[in-house]
A and B are shown apart, each in its own frame.
Chain A
């Protein structure tokens, strides 16, 4: 095993967006079963440190592949096509308008302490996200269109952030 291998290689998985989640889980566990610090409580300090670094590495790789947005980001990064989330903020107007509407609906439901409405918004956005990820899979795995995929990822970043905002709003109602 190579400590510096990419995340897909580390788990012996094909480098693709569509991914067998069960396979990822089991590969991750197999690796952790080998390297986790719990296996090295009686080892030398050097080995303990090494074990911690490996287990940390396994966790990092697992996190990067588990969530679709991060996986897409990582794939684009491997392809030398970074998403430039910070420098490239240009977005089509209608997309931004849509975002505003979502945000307003959320703020309104929050101000009105409308729990049900927030739950509804949350679910709707979740469904929306699923559809977006379907499309992204096509761009990355079938069309190999990195530019379009990067654009899709940038939108998805907005949407995922929105999802967190709705979630926060839900949490704030419970406090």
Chain B
């Protein structure tokens, strides 16, 4: 423990020197920077006194860029070079992004993470975020008049490894020393808890521009302990805008929109949404490039009804988080509301009804995350003295797992494990003399690899050649306090440290590794696998034919929605049959079996009734006796 004492906070060379530390809320819509001054957290405003920095970056022909309000002013006139809501793209590929069609950008797909073509060159979301962070860093440096020791950057609790890694990379690119990635709802809880000397179990409901988080925390004196977390890293106020946007198109049916018009209508949609937080109806009018004009009125009830499914989606995550924590809604002492989108009355109403209590809205939902981040940064650099101290215990939001045979996932570290956390897993070779092995790490809750997010592919080389099954390779997965994953490996029987290369999937530029994984995994068992696949395909075909025949003769036993479900399951099975994954085919068969269960029962009943109709017991007994 000697090592620890040297580094004890507050015991640095000059114990009473105040170190400059900041907290940054890097939001989808707005970003902020805050610091602690004279013991109080404050948001640092720009020269015009504006605390928020719109998370907008506009690239210019000369290679320069403008950020914030200046960039925002051009979003409709220069949509291709003006990037908004870039946070949605962090650690994401094009296929991950919803509503790409409504976006004006020229996307360039790159493995793992997309890029955007602008007049200043092709920009990755990491670079765009770095431009926002740099603006905030400069703002802080000029306000504080000195060099920053470090920054706490917040991320949605539900961000996965790729999104976190991308955020950390962006901060480094912006010249910041990252003290910690801090989950946004946890930051809010710190700000709230310290301010109110709160104790008990609290829920933080954070609906921002592009993300939704729910965290359940236990606050006791000196400890913030996250019990569980959940959410959706692609659900926020933007989606409410999009619903209004779709409603407008449906009502007005304009000609196909130019990128400028699409942006204009999205802006109008957002204005209407915000207007409806205090009014009963919102007028929407816009003049399009085509000369068409849109003139509509959106009543608050209509708005509530077209966005109801979005709110129920958030409540599903809330339920799941409560279940994960082993708690019921009644156990929650207070619900802290965070994020601009929680200003919508229907959101407050729904949350209030769910928890059967008024949510806490006394904190400024825009600032609370940044204030909490600054408070934590101040603690981390050791500006605190004596009692004024707390411990923060956070969790990993999504399970980590490994790909096993057949594209299935084996969980290694379950979601909501307190970080830092590590697990070791043993592997062996399955070919004689095998010296290399590929391991695929995924993140998510689903059973199939394809439904989870690919995090990294590790290549183990230098395994001493042995007979199949003799090598014992122990791979250790370590998730650090930022929620980031690292791995190391060692061959147990010989003690040889196997060389390991860990690449985040978004940095993966060669398909070789992927190919290698597939090869080594399937080669030995190729023939057996092929045969099993063929069998599964034949069985699936038989099942489809049988179901079709039953539908033809007995569809009167089914309600319309039941038929739709069965047909959907048939279709899905037909699709998976075309592929070469036996497990998928089996799962699809199970699904079809499941949705036809009642149907089969009803057909059976019908047949029995038919068979019995008009016969005597004697006849039946005779038949049975034959």
Is there a chain A Cβ closer than 8 Å to B320's Cβ? yes
Which size class do A's interface residues fall under? 20 to 34
B6 touches which of A34, A47, A60, A62 (Cβ 8 Å)? A47
Please give the distance in Å from A53's CB to the nearest CB on chain B.
Answer: 8
Q: A43 — nearest CB in chain B belongs to which residue?
A: B7
A42 touches which of B12, B323, B480 (Cβ 8 Å)? B12
Q: Are B323 and A167 closer than 8 Å at their CB atoms?
A: yes
Residues of B within 8 A of A41 (CB): 150, 179-180, 380-381
CA distance A123 to B323 in the complex (A): 13
Please give the distance in Å from B168's CB to the nearest CB on chain A.
Answer: 14
Known contacts A39-B9, A41-B180, A47-B4: does B481 contact A29 (CB below 8 Å)? Answer: no
Is there a chain B Cβ closer than 8 Å to A55's Cβ? yes
Q: A50 — nearest CB in chain B belongs to which residue?
A: B3
Q: Are B417 and A39 closer than 8 Å at their CB atoms?
A: no
Is there a chain B Cβ closer than 8 Å to A141's Cβ? no
Q: Are B1 and A1 closer than 8 Å at their CB atoms?
A: yes
Residues of B within 8 A of A171 (CB): 320, 323
CA distance A170 to B320 in the complex (A): 10
Residues of A within 8 A of B418 (CB): 59, 62-63
A37 touches which of B149, B480, B594, B597 (Cβ 8 Å)? B480
Q: Are A42 and B180 closer than 8 Å at their CB atoms?
A: no
Is there a chain A Cβ closer than 8 Å to B155's Cβ? no
Is there a chain B Cβ closer than 8 Å to A106's Cβ? no
Q: B418 — nearest CB in chain A belongs to which residue?
A: A59
Known contacts A38-B180, A174-B319: does B481 contact A55 (CB below 8 Å)? Answer: yes
Chain B 173-224 interface residues, beta-carbon cutoff 8 Å to A: 179-180, 222-223
Chain B 407-441 interface residues, beta-carbon cutoff 8 Å to A: 417-422
Which size class do B's interface residues fall under? 35 or more
Residues of B within 8 A of A40 (CB): 4, 7
**How many residue pairs, one in A and one in B, have C-beta atoms under 8 Å apart?**
82
Q: Are B481 and A36 closer than 8 Å at their CB atoms?
A: yes
Please give the distance in Å from A104's CB to the nearest CB on chain B.
Answer: 13
CA distance A164 to B92 in the complex (A): 31
Q: Are A111 and B391 closer than 8 Å at their CB atoms?
A: no
Binary flags per residue of A24-52, CB closer than 8 Å to B gives 1, else 0: 00000100111111111111101100111
Q: Are B391 and A32 closer than 8 Å at their CB atoms?
A: yes
Residues of B within 8 A of A175 (CB): 316
Is there a chain A Cβ closer than 8 Å to B382's Cβ? yes
Main secondary structure of the interface of A (DSSP, over half): helix
Is there a chain A Cβ closer than 8 Å to B8's Cβ? yes
Residues of B within 8 A of A170 (CB): 323
Is there a chain A Cβ closer than 8 Å to B251's Cβ? no
Is there a chain A Cβ closer than 8 Å to B310's Cβ? no
Known contacts A52-B481, A171-B320: does B421 contact A60 (CB below 8 Å)? Answer: yes
Q: Are A59 and B7 closer than 8 Å at their CB atoms?
A: no
Residues of B within 8 A of A1 (CB): 1
CA distance A175 to B317 in the complex (A): 10
A111 touches which of B12, B382, B478, B598 (Cβ 8 Å)? B598
Is there a chain B Cβ closer than 8 Å to A99's Cβ? no
Binding site for A on B (CB under 8 A): 1, 3-4, 6-9, 12, 149-150, 179-180, 222-223, 316, 319-320, 323, 379-382, 391-393, 417-422, 478, 480-481, 594, 597-598
Told that A41-B380, A50-B4 touch, could you supply 17 new A-B pairs with CB distance under 8 A? A1-B1, A36-B481, A38-B392, A38-B481, A41-B180, A42-B9, A42-B381, A42-B382, A43-B7, A44-B7, A47-B6, A52-B420, A52-B481, A56-B420, A56-B478, A59-B419, A167-B323
Binding site for B on A (CB under 8 A): 1, 29, 32-44, 46-47, 50-52, 55-56, 59-60, 62-63, 111, 167, 170-171, 174-175
Show 26 residue pairs from A and B whose CB-CB distance is below 8 angstroms, ordered by the A residue: A29-B223, A36-B392, A38-B180, A38-B379, A38-B380, A38-B392, A39-B8, A39-B9, A41-B150, A41-B380, A43-B7, A47-B6, A50-B3, A50-B4, A52-B478, A59-B420, A59-B421, A62-B418, A63-B417, A63-B418, A111-B598, A167-B323, A170-B323, A171-B320, A174-B316, A174-B319
